[in-house]
Structure 1
Amino acid sequence: MWVAFSTPEGSGFFSAVAKDEDGNTSGPHMGSRVCLRFRRAQDAELLRDYGMDGEVIETPCGDYRFRAFIPRNHLVTVLMNLGDRMAYPNFKDSIPEDDIALTNACHQAWAVFGDLQDGGPYGAGQ
């Protein structure tokens, strides 16, 4: 799952996957924990006030540089709290002006995902 988020404190991005600390993706222990993966440490820290309580581990050679392994129900709490506190009418406009990297990434993702829709991001009206 990919989640781009915006809070009053700042904006960020994370990927959530079913993987444990040893890299296992199956087994009897799977299901109770998830791995949150971050490109930037600051994005993980922003989630602390929203229920993310895992230790953030730096993995310099990983596809995502930072990771936190948390109980699955804590991910549910994070997502619920982000949704509960959402107060913007346009996500891309809610990203702080000084976060140019995330702004650019979100605009690019918006355009690419827009191509999934018949007629492009504005539909058949073009």
Structure 2
Amino acid sequence: MWIFTSTGMLSVVAHRELAKDLLVRARSPVHIREMFPDAVVDETPNADYPFRTIISRELYSNVIADYSLNISYDNFKNSIEENAFHDRCVEIWAIMLRYGLTWREFE
């Protein structure tokens, strides 16, 4: 699952060996630390997502629920302060807009 927040993007998958845990991956260690400040972030330089941590499913769901309950912005893109991340999110938004157009009925 990809999760986009105002402070980063996470790729979250089931841990292959630990059923009660998730592997939370990112392309920037800051993106993990913003959501999970106490996490130990490991670096795997040759991986697609070079930064990762193991988080319990319970902690992950609590953090995401808390984040969701505290959303105060009315425009996600405008809530992103880091310029480079904002620009990438705008590009992703545009790509998904084009994808969404294929589902609209035009007369």
Alignment TM-score, normalising by the size of structure 2:
0.87
> Where do 4+ consecutive residues of structure 1 move more than 6 Å?
none
Residue 13 of structure 2 is matched in structure 1 by 17
2:9 counterpart SS class? strand
Residue 72 of structure 2 is matched in structure 1 by 87
CA RMSD of aligned residues (A): 2.1
Q: Where does the alignment leave 5 or more consecutive residues of structure 2 unmatched?
A: none
Judging changes above 3 Å, is the alpha-carbon distance between structure 1 residues 89 and 124 closer, same or farther for their aligned structure 2 residues?
Answer: farther
Q: 1:72 aligns with which of 40, 45, 57?
A: 57
Residue 4 of structure 1 is matched in structure 2 by 4
Q: Deviations over 1:64-116 (max 9, x none)?
A: 111010111111011101101111000000111xx221111101111111122
Residue 91 of structure 2 is matched in structure 1 by 108
Q: Where does the alignment leave 5 or more consecutive residues of structure 1 unmatched?
A: 20-24
Identity of aligned residues (%): 29
Q: How many residues align?
A: 107
Aligned residue identity for 1:68:
T
2:45 counterpart SS class? coil
